Structure 1
């Protein structure tokens, strides 16, 4: 056999779907279905083959198992599969699979999509970057296979070869159905696969586009004898039907009833007393036969004849050792760094070119921040500190000072609401944005990863890096608006930590959204509904609605798992910690407290000395004096916590925070950000590599 030629065979290939016990109970008792079987056989002992240089059509009525057979041959379905899928050839092959509903990154142009396909696929096939270049300026029959890494030439060749040059600068979202089908093929041809498998490439196309697509596939097999193309097709016209080199027809019983050239279909049917009417499309007629319209006896007879024919063919054929197809597929060699760079570039284009989403994301952060600034305007300047005591305090000032303390306390407590709502808003914004956008790309990622463009981890890392600037800018805009309008202290270090914590919250929330989006990628409605609900427990156990000390012991584990709690407490320490009440204020409080104490003690001592007969000893009189002085001394002086000569904000005292706890919060948030992003990736990985 020529080095570039190969043959793929399948022998006694069967595929069963097993219902799980839960699914079985659901079908019987909830849906009240009768005759529910634990397993269903879709493919029943199939035999067949195809070879390089052929265009093969898998045909059959709906539900016959065409797509299942296609996915078994491509290696997408393994569980429930039995039998042999063999390979005969002297070199390993590349296999590319294009699903019925192909998915793209819609913001790219056709040229960009092909350019990225060429670059990414060349990294996984650096040793053999070979492509057929069709030079339109020369004779149509002149095609050259060249070894090249010039992606511009590759893209131009593909645009010419697949008649996409007129829409090269058009965004994919604006392409017609036929153009999208050709783009799907062009992307995979960038690395010239040996086996190209397409599921229903003509679905949704008009008759003209359908013919053009199949004719293109036929032409590809003629230009390169080393490529085999396998497609599923439902009911082709007679004109399309005759473009295939070989037809493989499946029946409703999961057996093959015809395997051969399209021009021999009528003669084959005649052997079983099935006469195709004159001027009737043979493709339509054999589908009717496969559907059982002419009885199941004819189906069983043809299936038996096909099986016998394959057995006889195997006895006569001796082409060397048969290997498993899966072991004969080339393992891609990924260049991690370069692929990540290309994927960052592509993701950045998609993010920044989606103008509506891009602007909406920024606008919502600015608008919500502005309304929060209006609502909490000026409240940030209250630090939960005692009044200014630099000029001392006379007893006659007590009432005025207590009024100042009351306002300070009320405004500070009100501003805690701003901190809480900031956390809630950024959490929901991060979750809901990604839970909508992420599922839209999962199918495109899955196809590209399974076809060996890159590794799933490379894409997820690239997406995370590409989205970082947008996350940082949106968090920064929100932080600036709220910080300035609230009149928080204009200290760079304090603002930097404030922004950093909000960025951590956005990053973790996006991971939360990635997780829900990947989990419900096939049901965006469920994802949109459930995503906000999954954020509720984190808010409920944030420590804002109920302090940790008051939470029942058996529920405290949820407080420790709530990232919202660490965010809120880190924000409180950032805004009210440090020297928020000023430097040296502890000394002023101590002096003022001492002066008031001395003044009140003196006053009461004089009063009690005048009535000394009422007290038996001086010691008793002193105790009474101290008790009265303590009860009259203002609360804001008695309850002040002094550390290193400085007064701590009442908010720091109330939440029992310290510099050590703040450091712990930042470490926990860093670990939380990494773990949540890793969990989101692992779920995406399970979706991509899941064996059906």
Structure 2
């Protein structure tokens, strides 16, 4: 398998893990406050050596993916045990730069072509905005080897399952990783596509890499394509670690004989499930829970050279020195990628832009030209209150729905060292800001004109500014909640629990003067109250002249009386704007910190 740079034996990576355990809490009815511990992995050990392909197999729930997640460094919480890389304790920061993880589900950008996906991956890898001839040749060779050249201009959304899987592998080869992890790479593929993927994995191992996979259902033909098997029992223990060609001899040594024309992989899983008697303890003892090397071929040279160690240290130092310059480069590439995707998938953007305009037209038709009529001041205030409430909920829910859809892909790309969290977060903020401002600005323009608010430029600017700040704050709230929970149902519940109380303490439906004194302090910290007060002052404040009134008795002709009626006569527009901006900045910082912690 040709790739961008050959990997020599001295450059490979050997992985050794010892006494790895993993357990999870299981809540059962009647024991809500006393969850039971379920052991997924029980003190398993083993080695994954370079130049070999490994298949981790076992029945569902045996801990295949859990072991892969720990060895790859994708997850570390809740695990016990140690991992050595080339005989030395693993440094996760260094290891992640030399490995890649391809998940079971192909997380690809659906609106990028194969060639565009490869080029963007290469730009992020080499820190360039334009690829040179050498880098283009690398991409061409990889696509040829993976038989993707003919479809290089096809969008990822239009590819078959096997083509998506091969594209996922090809994109990671741009980084030339020394270790590659695959979570069930053949699941969901037909036999022909699965055979191609497994053949690719075998060729990658021959090029000097360490290839580690979990396989849910292994066929007899696939069994011979993997060098070493690592088999887990339903109890999370290793019952075999050795050459795939020695599996039947291993079983025979314990008195188990695979029936003729029966798939050995299926047979050993059936044995582990107890279909032929209770052999689990014997198998675990014979394999020494993964520590036994009796059925593995001895490797001639497993030592790491001093040159490799120095190269490893140099990689870390170089990365630290270039971190600031990489940030701006990654940001530029991610912004261009986002713009390209948005130009092809504009449905969500169009909805965010035009849905507020449609709602503003509906509000404007119902409350047409009441802004300068003293008889309808109460209706006008109610209109403004409902409009700001609409912007609050729209902004919060739109982000809480959008972000979880991109989170899994972002998490995998960041884990595989495509870019830093800081670059992604900055790109997300920069690219979403114009959309949020434009949609809210259009809403304000249509509403302001149709409802007949005073035609004064400075009032419209202040009016729009307060709406935009409120929308941005609500959007930041929705994003933070989306990161914390990542479930659409939980997001909706938590957002409602946070935002609904603010609508009560906005000073409109429940006036400040009518509120019990023990609750009046809530108005001082209520985001919606500050927003409503700022909007009312942009319309009725700043020494506005008396409004028109067709009747003789008109108690709300004076704008100041309107503000006084809602206990908002004090003009604190800029204080409210600064307060909302301050909360917005704090939420953005908290969101970044939570996102960094989650990853």
Q: TM-score range by the shorter chain?
A: 0.7 to 0.9
What is the correspondence of 1:88-487 to structure 2 with a 5 Å cutoff? 88=86, 93=95, 94-123=98-127, 152-222=136-206, 224-225=207-208, 227-297=209-279, 299-307=280-288, 310=291, 319-320=302-303, 331=316, 333=320, 334=323, 335-382=326-373, 408=374, 410-487=375-452
Q: Structure 1 pair 76/168, CA: closer, same or farther in 2 (3 Å)?
A: same
Q: Is the 8 A contact 1:102 1:444 kept in 2?
A: no
Match of residue 16 from structure 2: 9
Match of residue 520 from structure 1: 485
Q: Structure 1 pair 316/6, CA: closer, same or farther in 2 (3 Å)?
A: closer
User: Is 1:500 the equivalent of 2:504?
Assistant: no
Q: Is the 8 A contact 1:119 1:151 kept in 2?
A: no
Q: Structure 1 pair 8/672, CA: closer, same or farther in 2 (3 Å)?
A: same
Q: Alpha-carbon deviation of 1:542?
A: 0.8
Q: Is the 8 A contact 1:436 1:528 kept in 2?
A: no
Count of matched residue positions in the alignment of Structure 1 and Structure 2: 568
Q: Deviations over 1:415-463 (max 9, x none)?
A: 1112111101111111121121111111111112222222223212211
Q: Structure 1 pair 157/508, CA: closer, same or farther in 2 (3 Å)?
A: farther
Q: Alpha-carbon deviation of 1:515?
A: 2.2
Q: Alpha-carbon deviation of 1:656?
A: 5.4
Q: Which has the larger displacement, 649-658 or 147-156? A: 147-156
CA distance in 2, matches of 1:287, 1:509: 52
Q: Deviations over 1:203-235 (max 9, x none)?
A: 11111111111111112223x22x211000022
Q: Alpha-carbon deviation of 1:529?
A: 4.8
CA distance in 2, matches of 1:308, 1:516: 42
Match of residue 3 from structure 2: none
Q: Is the 8 A contact 2:473 2:581 kept in 1?
A: no
TM-score by length of 1: 0.75
CA distance in 2, matches of 1:102, 1:281: 28
Q: Alpha-carbon deviation of 1:379?
A: 1.1
3-state SS of paired residue (2:401): helix
CA distance in 2, matches of 1:549, 1:355: 47
User: Is 1:576 the equivalent of 2:527?
Assistant: no
CA distance in 2, matches of 1:487, 1:648: 15
Match of residue 651 from structure 1: 562
3-state SS of paired residue (2:101): strand
Q: Structure 1 pair 349/535, CA: closer, same or farther in 2 (3 Å)?
A: farther
Q: Deviations over 1:304-325 (max 9, x none)?
A: 22229946779999855899x9
3-state SS of paired residue (1:277): coil
Q: Alpha-carbon deviation of 1:578?
A: 2.2
User: Is 1:665 the equivalent of 2:576?
Assistant: yes
CA distance in 2, matches of 1:240, 1:312: 23
Match of residue 5 from structure 2: none
Q: Structure 1 pair 524/176, CA: closer, same or farther in 2 (3 Å)?
A: farther
Q: Is the 8 A contact 2:537 2:571 kept in 1?
A: no
CA distance in 2, matches of 1:235, 1:207: 12
Q: Which has the larger displacement, 110-119 or 560-569? A: 110-119
CA distance in 2, matches of 1:681, 1:371: 37
Q: Is the 8 A contact 1:58 1:247 kept in 2?
A: yes
Match of residue 501 from structure 2: 537
Where structure 1 has 5 or more consecutive residues not aligned to the other structure, the ranges are: 127-146, 383-407, 586-633, 641-646
Q: Is the 8 A contact 1:581 1:649 kept in 2?
A: no
CA distance in 1, matches of 2:201, 2:349: 39
Q: Is the 8 A contact 2:114 2:167 kept in 1?
A: yes
Q: Structure 1 pair 173/553, CA: closer, same or farther in 2 (3 Å)?
A: farther
Q: Is the 8 A contact 2:233 2:272 kept in 1?
A: yes
TM-score by length of 2: 0.86
CA distance in 1, matches of 2:119, 2:51: 27
3-state SS of paired residue (1:249): strand
Q: Deviations over 1:657-677 (max 9, x none)?
A: 578511101111111221222
Q: Deviations over 1:671-691 (max 9, x none)?
A: 122122233333333332xxx
Q: Alpha-carbon deviation of 1:547?
A: 2.3
CA distance in 1, matches of 2:293, 2:170: 39
